[in-house]
Structure 1
Amino acid sequence: MANEIPVYLFVGFLESGKTKFIQETFEDPNFDSGDKTLLLVCEEGEEEYNEKKFAFPGVTLKVLEDKAELNPQNLARLEKESGAGRVVIEYNGMWLLQDLANNLPENWIVYQCIATADGTTALTYARDNSMRSLLLDKIARSELIVFNRAEAVNNDAARQELHKLVRQASRKCDIAYEFADGSVAYDDIPDPLPFDLNAPIVEIGEDDFGIWYMDCQDEPQKYVGKTVRFLAQVCQTNRAGKNSFVPGRFAMTCCVQDIQFVGFPCSYDGYKALEQRAWVTVTAKVNYKFHNIYRGKGPVLTAISVEPAEKPQNDVVTFS
């Protein structure tokens, strides 16, 4: 089996500061792992790399401007030719991250994903449905987003709006604001959950399913062994596994064009009697284990009871 190749992913729109962030990272001796590095640049902005300032040798820079070049065979070839032991990708902000995930060689593992955004345009993009959708796609996979040129969003209203934007995609992603003088401020707006995790039965409000879904996906371990009760629609699918269905809700990411069904596989002996799209109240135990629907480990429910329920006033939920 081929050696595991760690991938460090930098995402964001053109001129959002990706190149500057990577340049500064490569100038830091602490980023020297001793391995050769393959740097893949998927879009070129005004800023260019200064390889003379890199703190370590062995960096091979390749430009991939055509998405067709992102395929396992080509990437594996570049890895072999460069002799790289790690990969850094400056990803095109207009490409979906799933397109990359679908085309990485099997031995390439994303270790870290960092997003950058330009503070002077962030709110404009956040208010535009198509650009917002692309922004959320990047934030959802990132552990940190850095808003540079932060002077433009250095007020409470702007910070609240950007905080809400990020939390719509991820409750785990840290938020930082970088100013022209190099100083950095971190978002400290609290994110209390709208349900009691210490209750004997964790009651998920009918409008809070999206928040619970995202939090359970982000931090599944804190739900293991807990009993939850929630309102959901029935999804009968073979992907749920033996004696199972998927209770879930339709959720809106940013606009009506982005509505999708989200839920968790749930084992239930009486699943065959459930009608497709029927509304039910599910009481279930949460576990965290392998399931084919995740192609790995994820939250898996075991139903204690499934009872008929009425359709709620708002049948589409959000993630924030």
Structure 2
Amino acid sequence: MEIPVYLVNGFLESGKSTFVLETMKDPEFTESVRTLLLVCEEGEVEYDEAMLAKLKVDVVVVEDQDEFNEEFLKRCYERYKPQRIMIEYNGMWDTEEFLEMELPEPLEMAQIITLIDASTYQNYMNNFKSIMISQFKYSDTVIVNRCDESTDKLAIRRTIKPVNRKAEIVYESVDGVTTDAGEEVLPFDITADHIDLCDEDYGLWYLHAMDNPKMYQGKTITFRAMVYKTERFPKGAFVPGRFAMTCCADDIAFIGFLCKTDYAGPVAIDQLKNRMWITLTAQVRVEYYKEYHGKGPVLYAKKIEMAEEPKEKLVYFN
């Protein structure tokens, strides 16, 4: 039987301990299942081990990153025989190092949750950007807490989503109430049947279409893009897209949606070469595609024309 491992990360005082404690107290989560809690960073919230023991939770404090390895996890499993493991990870430790670790059987990574304090987010992004990104890059859920009226939730979202498309982002107010991110103000007319994108608007359109594909169902869109082709794509398909600075100069990724040509012209599919610039007019349909892990925007080309390389090759998300 597989033993699920839950990783909770975030910087000191981001709310990790509070989240773990509330989770352990939740009857729907506890269900009398023996849990091993590995605490790699002791924050301002202290654990009541006697209370946790009543919930069948064993607590082990890990002070040194060097000792936090496969052999240590194996010893912990053999000693405590947990039915699941929750790790409160140290915010200054590299999350990728843990994810590269080969978990001993029968441990299996189940979920990664990142806690972010909205009031200190920008400060950490300015000073510890690479560590911050490694925390939410592979997360299944990102909880942005302590949000108030001054919190720019959309700006936070624009730094997370380009790096981690699958992450669910939850916003919580200072008093713990879940809030939404607010309505995105778009630089183009979402109500139009035909949207003609400016080069600088591609990044925002990509994010919005990724999160709201049904809003673009049946619409026609025109934009300048770079061609990306590979044999992995269905026959007659390619990805028109742009290189985007997802969060910093060292983290640049190619972003775009699958496009099926259906013999659109005047430039044919066999004339398209990687890194060639084109102007594409296509209809958006919402379809299943395995690379999306579900349904998402699929473009059907109506017109493909040669285009000049733009002065600014990179796109941004603001």
The aligned amino acid for 2:160 is A
The aligned amino acid for 2:169 is C
Alignment CA distance shift 1:199-1:30 (3 Å): same
- Give distance in 1, aligned partners of 2:183 and 2:100: 31
Deviation string for 1:163-192 (max 9, x for gaps)? 5233332396233343xxx56584765323
Answering whether residue 283 of structure 2 is matched by residue 307 of structure 1, we say no
CA contact (8 A) 1:232 1:247 kept: yes
CA contact (8 A) 2:10 2:90 kept: yes
Deviation string for 1:244-273 (max 9, x for gaps)? 222111111222222221222323353321
Alignment CA distance shift 1:313-1:175 (3 Å): farther
User: 3-state SS of the aligned residue for 1:134?
Assistant: helix
Give 1:229's aligned residue: 222
CA contact (8 A) 2:69 2:101 kept: no
- Give distance in 2, aligned partners of 1:86 and 1:217: 34
Report the Cα offset of residue 232 of structure 1: 1.1
Deviation string for 1:90-135 (max 9, x for gaps)? 344343469638967896543x73423273x43321223xx23433
Question: Which protein is bigger by CA-based radius of gyration?
Answer: 2
Aligned length: 300
- Give distance in 2, aligned partners of 1:175 and 1:102: 30
Alignment CA distance shift 1:235-1:193 (3 Å): same
Unpaired runs of 5+ in structure 1?
none
The aligned amino acid for 2:286 is N
Report the Cα offset of residue 308 of structure 1: 1.6
Report the Cα offset of residue 80 of structure 1: 8.6
Match of 1:240 among 233, 243, 247: 233
CA contact (8 A) 2:200 2:315 kept: yes
Give 1:262's aligned residue: 255
User: 3-state SS of the aligned residue for 2:172?
Assistant: strand
Give 2:165's aligned residue: none
- Give distance in 2, aligned partners of 1:233 and 1:216: 18
The share of aligned pairs that are identical, in percent, is 34
User: 3-state SS of the aligned residue for 1:173?
Assistant: strand
Match of 1:44 among 41, 45, 48: 41
User: 3-state SS of the aligned residue for 2:11?
Assistant: coil
Report the Cα offset of residue 7 of structure 1: 6.0
Give 1:168's aligned residue: 159
Match of 1:217 among 210, 219, 223: 210
Give 2:192's aligned residue: 199
Give 1:249's aligned residue: 242
Answering whether residue 132 of structure 2 is matched by residue 135 of structure 1, we say yes
Alignment CA distance shift 1:114-1:231 (3 Å): same
- Give distance in 2, aligned partners of 1:6 and 1:234: 41
- When the two structures are superposed, what TM-score results if normalisation uses the length of structure 2? 0.72
Alignment CA distance shift 1:102-1:259 (3 Å): farther
The aligned amino acid for 2:278 is V
Answering whether residue 13 of structure 2 is matched by residue 54 of structure 1, we say no
CA contact (8 A) 1:32 1:55 kept: no
- Give distance in 1, aligned partners of 2:42 and 2:183: 35
Q: Provide the alpha-carbon RMSD of the alignment.
A: 4.0
Out of 185-194 and 20-29, give the one that drifted further: 185-194
CA contact (8 A) 1:227 1:286 kept: no
The aligned amino acid for 1:167 is R
Unpaired runs of 5+ in structure 2?
163-167
- Give distance in 2, aligned partners of 1:208 and 1:40: 44
User: 1:65-144 to 2 correspondence within 5 Å?
Assistant: 66=65, 86-93=84-91, 94-96=93-95, 100=99, 108-110=109-111, 113-117=113-117, 119=119, 121-128=120-127, 131-139=128-136, 141=139, 143-144=141-142
- Give distance in 2, aligned partners of 1:290 and 1:188: 27
User: 3-state SS of the aligned residue for 1:254?
Assistant: strand
User: 3-state SS of the aligned residue for 1:247?
Assistant: strand
Alignment CA distance shift 1:210-1:96 (3 Å): farther
